[in-house]
Amino acid sequence: MHERLAEHDEHHEWETSPWPLVLSVGVLFLGPFSFSLYFVYNKPMLAVLSLGIGVILTVLSIAGWIRETVKHRLEHPHVHLQGETVGLGLDAMQLFIVAEACLFIAFFVAYWVTRLLSPTWPPAGTPHIEMVTPIIMTVILVSSSVTIHLGEERLNHNDRSGFILWLVLTMVLGAVFFGISVNEWTHLMGEGFTFKTNIYSTAFFSITGFHGSHVFVGLGMFLCALIPALFGRVNKTFVKSVSIYWHFVDIVWFFVVSQIYFW
């Protein structure tokens, strides 16, 4: 079909990868199927089943994806076709963060609109919300931002083990943060402050929840950086991207604390 190309082009095969397809099927089970099986058609068993399938497919495909890209970089170190090798990952992540920011903006707008429309604030049914926890959480998250930064520093000095150390520390801090907020949720719900309570609970749970999910995703991405790193394969661009993502999550937290908790 394309002999003229075949002579020069350094890889004249069509590149393929099964993982994007597998991943999106996984997403289909993970999201819509399990959700609507549980909430719409209340079939908990089936919901759990499709959740399981989803998780397996997702994890599998992400792992495969990482292996593939790592391998690819080893095989053609100089191919300026794969964005990862020319370090475009960073720019892409910045664009993605713009989108993420808009997501949070939408939720904060919803929060402020409903709050300003409501006659009394906090609305009836709101229990006293602990003000120490958020401060502790802030400290933890900020320090995790610092640790990952130090990790990058080590990386620039090509000190892999040092980097891994800081990375692990960061992940621990992130996990602790996550744990605390889960704990806080259960506590509040114990006090009868649930999604259903009032407009403040609506905003509180949805916004902290969304932020929490972002922390979770951040941890996942750190894991995707850690595992190859343990095998001596560090993709600097990827690490940089993940860490700015982490800083972003950190900054969002400032808005959450100041506006949801204290303001």
Q: Which residues of this chain interact with another protein, rule CB under 8 A?
A: 1-2, 4-9, 11-21, 23-25, 27-28, 31-32, 35-36, 39-41, 65, 68-69, 81-84, 86, 88, 91-92, 95-96, 98-100, 102-103, 105-107, 109-110, 113-114, 117-118, 123, 194-196, 198-202, 205-206
Query: Nearest approach, Cβ of 114 to another protein (angstroms)?
Result: 6
Query: Nearest approach, Cβ of 117 to another protein (angstroms)?
Result: 6
14/231 with CB nearer another protein: 14
> CA-CA-CA-CA torsion for 81, 87, 92, 98, nearest 10 degrees?
-170
Tell me how crowded residue 117 is: count the other CB atoms within 10 A of its CB.
8
Residue in 35, 37, 16 with CA at minimum distance from that of residue 27: 35
Query: Nearest approach, Cβ of 193 to another protein (angstroms)?
Result: 13
Q: At what angle do helices 89-117 and 236-255 cross, to 10 degrees?
A: 10
102/132 with CB nearer another protein: 102
For residue 194 the two structure tokens come to 């649930």
Nearest-angstrom CA–CA distance, 227 and 56: 18
170/237 with CB nearer another protein: 237
Backbone phi, then psi, for 237, in 5-degree steps? -55, -45
35/263 with CB nearer another protein: 35
Query: Nearest approach, Cβ of 176 to another protein (angstroms)?
Result: 26
Residue in 145, 151, 143 with CA at minimum distance from that of residue 168: 151
36/143 with CB nearer another protein: 36
